[in-house]
Amino acid sequence: MRLAELSERSGVSPATIKYYLREQLLPPGELVTTRRAEYGEEHLRRLRLVRALIQIGRMPVATAREVLVALQGEGLDQNSRLGLAMGALPPGAEPDPEPDDPATELARQQVAIMAEELGWNPKELPVAAHRTLVAALATLARLGYPYDAAHLRPYARAAVRIAESDLDLLDEYDTALEKIETAVALTVLYEPVLLSLRRLAQAQESHRRQHGRLRPGNSGEGAV
């Protein structure tokens, strides 16, 4: 496959593909001659992943490169590479990292309490996500929205459900080599899905509460 065909099949302009090649988001095509390169299906797959990371995941190009490097994983086993790649994914927006203030310290404590309650092993928690969570909670507190571990609990429970679905979903794609790419892609691609669903559900719930309607097809309040 030539660059032009890669462009057509992916819907990405040739100029942009060249840019990605330059930025090493795509491995170079196999050079047939000095001025002719051949691209394969794996380039197409990779290109789609790159677009997902950048367009859907709003990830800076440099970060996307880190994720992709982790994906290659230089002589690591599959699980390590998966962990590495997932760890490189930036979870949501991070405000400029504040120095350790009281708000941050409090956030760390509440997260620890929550993790304890859920039986989460602190050693198995990805540091990037943990850091983001603490930062987000600290921001919350600084803006005057107090919270504690109890507030977090329902969200954490929902997150557990979601993670179970994520891994169930992943089990459907067990082509080994592609599995890690798929994990990364699905994690990123389902984010807007999740957030949209939350908005829709908020609207429904808001209507429901205003009009005192019973929730249909649901077997009770917080029987988590």
Partner DNA sequence: TCAGTAAGATAGTGACGCTATCCAATGAAA
Partner DNA sequence: TTTCATTGGATAGCGTCACTATCTTACTGA
Closest of 92, 82, 93 to residue 185, by C-alpha: 82
Closest of 24, 18, 25 to residue 54, by C-alpha: 25
Residue 151 CB, nearest approach to its own copies (Å): 7
Is residue 69 involved in binding DNA (CB under 7 A)? no
Residues of span 92-131 touching DNA by CB under 7 A: none
Residue 18 CB, nearest approach to its own copies (Å): 20
CA–CA separation, 177 vs 71, rounded Å? Answer: 10
CA–CA separation, 14 vs 20, rounded Å? Answer: 10
Nearer to its own copies, 69 or 136 (CB): 136
CB count, 10 Å around CB of 48?
A: 16
| Cα 187 to Cα 27, 53, 126, 163, 212, distances in angstroms | 23, 10, 14, 9, 36
Question: What, of DNA, its own copies, none, does residue 83 touch, CB below 5 to 8 Å by kind?
Answer: its own copies
Choices 32-40, 121-129, 151-159, 209-217; region in contact with DNA by CB under 7 A: 32-40
DSSP character at residue 145: -
- Tokens of residue 85, six digits: 């790649």
Nearer to DNA, 64 or 82 (CB): 64
Question: What, of its own copies, DNA, none, does residue 119 touch, CB below 5 to 8 Å by kind?
Answer: its own copies
Question: What, of its own copies, DNA, none, does residue 150 touch, CB below 5 to 8 Å by kind?
Answer: none
Residue 165 CB, nearest approach to its own copies (Å): 4
Query: CB-based burial of residue 50 (10 Å sphere; 0-12 exposed, 13-18 middle, 19+ buried)?
Result: buried
Is residue 15 involved in binding DNA (CB under 7 A)? yes
| Cα 134 to Cα 88, 103, 140, distances in angstroms | 17, 9, 10
CA–CA separation, 32 vs 123, rounded Å? Answer: 48
Determine which residue in the list 24, 40, 42, 55 makes contact with DNA, applying CB under 7 A.
55
Tell me, residue by residue from 191 to 210, as one string, x for binding to DNA by CB under 7 A and - for no binding.
--------------------
Question: What, of its own copies, DNA, none, does residue 33 touch, CB below 5 to 8 Å by kind?
Answer: DNA
Q: Are 92 and 136 in contact (CB under 8 A)?
A: yes
Nearer to its own copies, 76 or 125 (CB): 125
Question: What, of DNA, its own copies, none, does residue 40 touch, CB below 5 to 8 Å by kind?
Answer: none
Q: Which residues bind DNA (CB under 7 A)?
A: 2-4, 13-16, 18-19, 21-22, 28-29, 31-37, 54-55, 60-62
